[in-house]
Amino acid sequence: MEPIIHDVFEHDTGTWQYVVADPSTLIAAIIDPVLDYDRTTQGLTTCTADSLLALVKEKGYKVDWILETHVHADHLTAASYLQRRLAREQGYSPSVAIGKRIGQVQRFFGKRYGVPEEQYGVVFDHLLDDDEKFDIGDLQAIAMHLPGHTPDHMGYKIGDNVFCGDSVFHADIGTARCDFPGGSADSLFSSGRRLLSLPDHVKIWTGHDYPPQGRSSPKAYMTVHEHREQNKHLKDGITAEEFVAMRNERDATLAAPRMLHQSLQINIRGGRLPTPTEEGHRMLRLPLDLKGPEW
């Protein structure tokens, strides 16, 4: 049995969000939801997440899972907001789940940004083991460890579909960067080839799309067969050595994601906001990028 899949594109950060539902029970999972953030005003809004809630309500779904593929560095997760809203609206709380290696990522960035451990220590309801099986209604899902972009990165195989997060992109983009702490081009090549070793008809649903010139609209998935023939970084015939050299050279030229610091501080908390100060403000820390020799 194959799931019902709703792909919802968030244009500001180029993020694909997914609602994946069992057609027989209407039990669903939400994958990688986005919280709207305005860098100019520091404003947080929930329009994108509310559109997911409206979709769930319209279709009559009950959400059992909110699945994160990893700690994102380019958008803020709406997982905590959705969990609270769904707990009220459907009478029980969905589990927010992520890969079991999340602790090492939380500790690293918690120390970097001065986030107290009590604000990230127990913020996810379920830490998924490699190849762990879990149910979405009558559907069986499998958690696939796909390291490379980050060390904790997970994909989710549901029927003949894999929601691969930020590992493999559209064929004309190739793959994700590997220069974040714990990232590894060698690991990403292995993860990519693991995905491309699946049967040809399996659909790989990506976490982002940034359509280049010549392609007018974002595309949520391509088949394994299409990637093996067309993916500019991973197609058949490209060796591990060629991939690693290309990925490392390209990553050295990339600018930091524009929401890097805000995203990491919220996302290691599972989408929960910082504890208010005595004055009632919720604060994030932003490191200064000092230019010139005088500093």
What are φ and ψ of residue 207, in 5° steps? Answer: -85, -20
Cross-sheet strand order for the sheet of 34-38 = 43-45, 34-38, 76-77
- 163-187 pLDDT tens trace: 999 999 999 999 999 999 999 999 9
When divided into structural domains, the chain yields a total of 1
pLDDT of residue 111: 97
pLDDT of residue 60: 98
Name beta bridge partners: 161: 203
The residue type of 180 is F
Buried-state track 128-166, b at ≥16 Cβ within 10 A, e below 16: beeebebebbebebebbbbbbbbbbbbbbbbbebbbbbb
- 250-292 pLDDT tens trace: 999 999 999 999 999 999 999 999 999 999 999 999 999 888 8
Mean pLDDT of the chain: 97
Whether 70 is in a domain gets the answer: yes
Nearest to 71 by CA among 180, 158, 220, 174: 180
Whether 282 is in a domain gets the answer: no
Domain enclosing residue 253, as ranges:
4-267
Whether 283 is in a domain gets the answer: no
Per-residue confidence band for 293, with pLDDT thresholds at 50, 70 and 90: confident
Rounded Cα distance between 284 and 120, Å, is 14
Whether 288 is in a domain gets the answer: no
Whether 289 is in a domain gets the answer: no
Per-residue confidence band for 153, with pLDDT thresholds at 50, 70 and 90: very high
pLDDT of residue 292: 81
Whether 272 is in a domain gets the answer: no
Judged by DSSP in three states, 262 sits in helix
CATH code, domain with 254? 3.60.15.10
pLDDT of residue 294: 79
pLDDT of residue 1: 85
Q: Is the pLDDT of residue 59 over 90?
A: yes
Whether 22 is in a domain gets the answer: yes
Rounded Cα distance between 87 and 170, Å, is 35
pLDDT of residue 291: 85
pLDDT of residue 81: 98
- 211-259 pLDDT tens trace: 999 999 999 999 999 999 999 999 999 999 999 999 999 999 999 999 9
Q: Which are the contacts of 287, defined by CB distance < 8 A and separation ≥ 6?
A: 261
What are φ and ψ of residue 227, in 5° steps? Answer: -65, -40
- 70-122 pLDDT tens trace: 999 999 999 999 999 999 999 999 999 999 999 999 999 999 999 999 999 99
Q: What pTM value is reported for the model?
A: 0.96
Across 142-149, average pLDDT: 98
Whether 233 is in a domain gets the answer: yes
